[in-house]
Amino acid sequence: MRLTIYSDKQGGWVDNVPATFTPSAEVVDRNNAGYGPRLAEADAIASARNDGLVQKDWNDASYRGGRIGLLYGVNDDWEALVQHTTQTLEAEGSFLIDPSLGRAHASTTFTPDFNRDEFGLTTWTLNGRLANLDLVYTGGHLSREVDSIVDYTHYNSGGGYITYYLCSGNIQEPTDPNNCYDPTKQYVDDTTNTRTTHEFRVATDPSRRWRLLGGLYINDTKTTHVGDYHDGAVNAAHAEHINNFNNDNSGDGFLLGNTALPTPGVNSSGPRASSVTFFNDYTRTEEELAFFGEAAFDLTDQWTLSLSARRYDLTSGLQGASNFSFGCRYGIGPNAQGTADGRCNGTDFSNDVTLRLRLLGQYADSGDDSLILNARSPNGEDGSPRDLFRGGGSNQATLDAIKSGSLSLAGMQPDGTINEVDTIIHATLTWLPTDDLLVFATFSEGYRPATLNRNGGQFANAQTGVFENYAVPPVALTDRLYNYELGMKGDFLDGLLRVNATAYRSEIEDMQVSRYDPLNVAFNYFIENVGDARVQGLEVDFQWLPTQALTLTGAFSVLDTRLQRVNPQLVGVSVPVGADLPLSPKFSGNLRVRYDFPLNRWGADAFLTASVTHRGRSLSGLVGKAEYMDDTLFHQTGRHSGLQIHNEGGAFGNITIPDASAEGGRRLPLNSRFVNPAATTFNVSVGLTKDDWRAELFVDNLGNEKAPIVQVGGRYTPVVTMQRPRSLGVRLSYDLE
């Protein structure tokens, strides 16, 4: 039996500083889905302040957990191992930093941020020998729940329908005042994940010249996600605005869409909180059955060839719905929204993902045009049914895109799932010229499964420029990896030096990339295939003992990456052909030195360690929106980010930015990305051991290196994460015999 119990409280180091947020008319008016009048026409605009949340070092985190393992020797040939691991992480505050503030570790957040992540993982393994065969059965079950509260006030700087959420004039009589209320917004998320796996392997005697291995693998995964978006409701006027126009006569929040026939995949029911104006409710599933096998043959005493293959059958599903409070915005009355009692249920504006994906799957199976052409959601504003595939298009436009081949339904099944059946292979040739040196060459294939998108088949809201005829793909196809390696593993200098080195080239087809673009396309994250890419490089690690007291270990990586093809629909959105892949420094490495020496006077042993880690310059993201994000920040706050921007050539997107030197005083922003600068971090420590005791004094990040990484997903203005600043500490330990 082995048992570990731990509690780790980590202090914060990011400050939430005083700030005021006032929505910018220039920024809000960029939203192609801006609903109602411009913000600039409002009679009154409220601001948000974060006075009650100002705090120094507010991003505390605590970890609590344990692990227990039980190993039972059944007999000389069989043993069973069962392990269980559990952990709870609770974090407060934000780890995102606003570089435009000009302070080392500062943010401006307007609602409380909190995250609780709890999981339990149980695994089991039974292995033994039957005749001349080695048998292994192993499995596991994971149960995880993540509850988060996230400040979403930044949605005012780029999200769609902002004036609907902010202002009253667009839903009252034209002569009424157009007041724009508290812009504070918050996102409350509840995500659960369960996963069960089983694997069974049979292998022949490893000492024989011919060796065979075979087995099967089963995976069953389910993820549920419920997320509520809350409007400000901090002041009484805004609370009344919400109650009057986002809710039914009871003052409760709007109901789940399709309440009479609940949408499969939905995990919640009943009215939302009175401040909720939009919510997601989804279930993703993944079921996989795979068979694998390997044959290895010793060609000679020095040469060995192995060939393996994996055949998999994978089905992925997405069900559920998103709902807006738009169905409530004209007030409550008899049959106001197509319901007998006139209650506000949001059905008219339900984004029924289950229905949409099933219709696409049924069309892929039957080719019946009427399935798409007659697809209707409940009554629209004028009482008539609306096209299910709308946005910036229509049912007819979606059907035309499918028939032209620009909207792929590959792999879709009549029940709305996507199924993939394929085989990947692996081959390795090894050479042992001496007992201390191994040389190998490998070819292998890999993949990421296809995935389904919530707004699949819906045309972009913006249908001009680069977004003309653009529709969200229902399926992001499997991206395939073809990998070639040549490497060596060797011991030299009578075993005092060990070196491992691998040169490789990887080719990726239809690389998947996630995108969040509510201004032009859709309100939800979606994944699409950007194109093809190539990665090639060299990795080396070593361990050297120059003397009995001195140990040197290190590693380095040299990378060369390229985007080699771009999907035509993403030209002008993604970075262009020839661009580097994101977060791929051309050089990175680390070196660690340890010196051990005795303290004879005290009967103890001491050590000194020093390490250096270097990460080269890299770029963030594959979508070229850096200049646009920086311009949004400037018009929202009057500040630029101060981050370095790399121009990729050409223009980005569809929305113009002010430029006095351009015709008409506006131009398209540059297709550009933020730069993550090179960073070098030093750590040092000194310690001693005596009997069962050990003490160590350490300093991590000695030079207080920031090492920022720009985060571009789901944000409209640039933010970064940074490594923990210089930390000093003492570690004490005692070994129980």
**Mean pLDDT for all residues in the chain:** 88
pLDDT band at 279 (very low <50, low <70, confident <90, very high): confident
pLDDT at 549: 95
> Per the domain annotation, does 181 fall within a domain?
yes
Residue 383 binned pLDDT confidence (cut-offs 50, 70, 90): low
Whether 107 maps to a domain, the answer reads yes
At residue 253 the predicted structure's pLDDT band, cuts being 50, 70 and 90, is: low
Residue spans of beta strands (DSSP E) within 380-515: 385-387, 418-434, 437-448, 451-452, 475-476, 479-492, 497-515
Q: Which residue has the tokens 């200049």?
A: 627
Mean pLDDT of 105-123: 96
Torsion angle of C-alpha atoms 155, 159, 160, 164, degrees rounded to 10 = 20
Report the pLDDT value the prediction gives residue 250, as an integer from 0 to 100.
47
How high is the pLDDT of residue 640? 95
Residue 274, domain member (yes or no) = no
Q: Are 223 and 87 in contact (CB under 8 A)?
A: no
What's the CA gap between 466 and 357, in Å, rounded? 26
Under DSSP, the state recorded for 474 is: S
Burial 136-164 (b: 16+ CB within 10 A, else e): ebbeebbebbbebbbbbbbbbbbbbbbbb
The Cβ-side half-sphere exposure at 323, using a 13 Å CA radius, reads 36
pLDDT of residue 435: 94
pLDDT band at 174 (very low <50, low <70, confident <90, very high): low
Of 568 and 142, more confident: 142
In angstroms, rounded to a whole number, what is the distance separating the alpha carbons of residues 167 and 164?
A: 6
pLDDT of 380 over the 70 cut: no
- Reported as a single tens digit per residue, the pLDDT across 603-645 is 999 999 999 999 999 999 999 999 999 999 999 999 999 999 9
**DSSP codes joined into one string, 409-441:** -TTB-TTS-EEEEEEEEEEEEEEEEETTEEEEE
C-alpha to C-alpha distance for 196 and 216, rounded to whole angstroms = 14
More confident residue, 11 or 43: 11
Q: How far apart are CA 95 and CA 597, in angstroms?
A: 40
pLDDT at 171 over 80: no
Q: Is residue 68 part of a domain?
A: yes
Residue 476, judged by CB atoms within 10 A of its CB (0-12, 13-18, 19+), counts as buried
Inter-residue long-range contacts of 196-200, CB under 8 Å, 24+ positions, other chains counted:
196/139, 196/140, 196/141, 196/142, 196/220, 196/221, 197/139, 197/140, 198/137, 198/138, 198/139, 199/136, 199/137, 199/138, 199/139, 200/135, 200/136, 200/137
Q: For residue 104, is pLDDT > 90?
A: no
Pairing of strands 48-49, 20-21: antiparallel
Give residue-wise pLDDT tens across range 345-370: 555 667 889 999 999 999 999 999 99
* pTM recorded for the entire structure: 0.91
Residue 344 has pLDDT above 70, yes or no: no
Dist. CA 35–CA 169, nearest whole Å: 11
Q: Are 170 and 188 in contact (CB under 8 A)?
A: no
Whole-number pLDDT of residue 179: 76
DSSP characters for 237-255?
Answer: HHHHHHHHHSB-TTSPBPP
The pLDDT assigned to 384 comes to 65
End-to-end C-alpha distance for the chain, whole angstroms: 14
What is the rounded CA–CA span in Å between residue 476 and residue 351?
19
Q: Which domain holds residue 99?
A: 1-151+166-197
CB 64 within 8 A of CB 604: no
pLDDT of residue 33: 58
Q: How confident is the model at residue 685 (pLDDT cuts 50, 70, 90)?
A: very high
pLDDT, residue 248, reads 45
**Phi, psi (rounded to 5 degrees) for 308:** -140, 160
Query: Within a domain: residue 674?
Result: no
Whether 691 is in a domain gets the answer no
Centroid of chain to Cα 479: 17
Weakest mean pLDDT among 88-102, 178-192, 600-614? 178-192
| Separation in Å, CA 393 to CA 122, 467, 543 | 48, 12, 61
Rounded CA separation 123/82 (Å) = 6
Residue 39, pLDDT score: 76
Does a structural domain hold residue 47?
yes
Q: Is the pLDDT of residue 339 over 50?
A: no
20-42 confidence digits (pLDDT tens)? 999 888 888 776 555 556 677 77
Residue 642: which region, alpha, beta or left (left: phi > 0; alpha: psi -120 to 50)? Answer: left
Pick the range with the lowest mean pLDDT from 148-157, 198-207, 542-551. Answer: 148-157
Q: pLDDT digit string (tens) for 466-523?
A: 888 888 999 998 999 999 999 999 999 999 999 999 999 999 999 998 887 777 776 6
Locate tokens 């039972």: which residue? 72
Structure confidence at residue 575 (pLDDT)? 94
- Answer yes or no: is pLDDT of 342 > 60: no
**pLDDT at position 146 over 80:** yes
Mean pLDDT of the region 276-293: 93
Q: How confident is the model at residue 393 (pLDDT cuts 50, 70, 90)?
A: confident
Domain tally, the chain = 1
Half-sphere CA count of 207, side-chain side, radius 13 A: 1
Res 338: pLDDT: 41
In a domain, 555, yes or no: no
Greater confidence, 125 or 390?
125
What is the C-alpha separation between 360 and 369, in angstroms, rounded?
Answer: 10
Helix, coil or strand: residue 637: helix
Q: How confident is the model at residue 583 (pLDDT cuts 50, 70, 90)?
A: very high
Residue with tokens 């979403």: 152
